[in-house]
Structure 1
Amino acid sequence: MPNTISTPSGQPAGVPVFLSPEDRERLLNDFNKTNWDYHKEETLVSLFKKQALLHPKNFAAVYQENRMNYIELDQKSNQLANVLLEKGVKEGMFVPVWLDRSLEWLVVILGILKTGAAYVPIDPGYPVKRVEYILADTSAEILITDTQRGNLLREGINAEIFHLDNTESLSHLSAELPDITINQDALAYTIYTSGSTGNPKGVMISHHSIQHLVTWHNQYFHVDDTSHLTLVAGLAFDISVWEIWSALIAGAILYIADNEDRVGPSELVNFYRRNQITHGFVPSVLAPSVVEETRKYNDLKLKYLFTAGGKT
């Protein structure tokens, strides 16, 4: 006689379990509601612009001792966008960014989006050959980097090297938003895989896809203009996109962790405490240790701690 597998109620598997109409409705419909109201025509740029108008004086981002409010980030990214437009950057183009973690990094990616182009984040620690491969694979006409990294590239590459640290102040340039209509289906960014099984491959994401994710996230996890969010993930890791845009489309403050803040559980928890983080990220490899570390303190403001992936 075959073995009988029992359900928790003791009934053999396969025997129907009758549900009340209320439980059936909850199981089939209430638990399966994954839609919410959001404006499909919005882009990351339009959603950010709304927050810059609503909360111009709110801090948008903090890195070490430096901070920038929403109106400053809006105007500086407008000025950079106008420079890039003069250089021929436009919708359909890919603009790689090879910079360290900083407030300027946010100015650059937002400025790129305001031209209608897509940004391509490159990890600051990537070897030169991988950077050159990404430049070739994207047919990039311009790379935004600093002098130190730009000088590492071999002569004869097709992309113009825009040294962000060598540019004159952009303050004399127009701070008006470029008159560019960005379609929600336009590409927002491309992130390259690690390439562990061969050449890295670019994963292309549209404005519609990422704003769909982050607007749901903000609604579900109560992110608003009083929230303090982290940028802990590596800049070329897709989790960083979720961290950045969850903050900037909500009017929240984005706290950019420097490399010293990301090395271990105690450093990361101190980063949360110091900045009164309400919505934090931790790489999965550190998650158990970070949770254990948080038990030492009663002054944490954390409402949610998110984890995913294994790379930073």
Structure 2
Amino acid sequence: MESRSKGGSVAEVLRKINLSARNFTAHQEKTLRALSYCRTSALGGHIDACDGCGNMSISYNSCRNRHCPQCQGHKKEEWIQKREQDLLPCTYYHVVFTLPQELNGLAISQPQLIYKALFEAAWATLNQFGKTEGLQLGMIGVLHTWGQNLSLHPHLHCIVPGGGIDHHGKWKKKVRTDKYLFSVKAMSKVFRAKFVALLRTSGVKDSNLMEKLFAKNWVVYAKRPFGGPKQVIEYLGRYTHKVAISNHRIKEVTDKEVRFGYKDYRKGGEKKEMTLSHVEFIRRFSLHILPRRFVRIRHYGILSSSWKRGKLQALQSDLKINIPEVTPKTLLNK
């Protein structure tokens, strides 16, 4: 008789297949195995003690892998607290740069090259438009590689302050009065040209691919701007440390299949369900395992790490911004 479990997790599916028998890279297999061991006896345990009431509890250790749906909460909280110190008093814009599906093959075979070029081309595009306005802009880029059905869909979410530093080193609050930062059509063409140029300088010489890339209209999507810094923090809290699929989207795991929910954005975000075999589900999930040490959240311009070493603080002081102190939000000691 077939066993079923309502709900489920990525780890549960992983424990139902033989990872060694599949065609994963060594890095992918190591990552998937870590996720399958997460919060089990395989990783040992620890004692949590509350400094306030003295209550103690024994728990299994987490794998702490960045691809694990169970291990992102603590990292996200720490990261968000730090970002609260970077905010400026302006409108923030949300721009999404998407790669065409013609690049999926290269994204699978050379992910380091493709995803690095995506970051660089997106920032080079925004930076060029900013310089046209006489401004040094800033950007936080967050890489997502998945679609709702776990297909490969590389795109970069960019959070851009609606202002920058002019050539006098002074803050200029608004880039434009429009509801969007820059013309989407104009950005799309520049983004395409810059990305293809990066491919060529990286040694990609497939002329047929280049023709296909230039023949296609690339997608740069400008979402409505955030209402203010608080909305930026709320957004970052939801999306910065997402993984390909969260466990709460998994509806059922049987001996052979996985059923999960997704939104079909081609039909206005209509909620649907999909059923895949264990092997196909994990194959799709593995497409979103990033190269070792690849940084998927990056900061540029006036939000870069070099700017934060003094210049950003000086700017915030000039603008009379009160910076919240970062204090740990947990009382648990292990």
Q: TM-score, normalised by structure 2?
A: 0.23
Higher-RCO chain (CA-CA 8 Å, sequence separation at least 6): 2
More strand per residue: 2
In the superposition, the TM-score normalised over structure 1's length comes to: 0.25
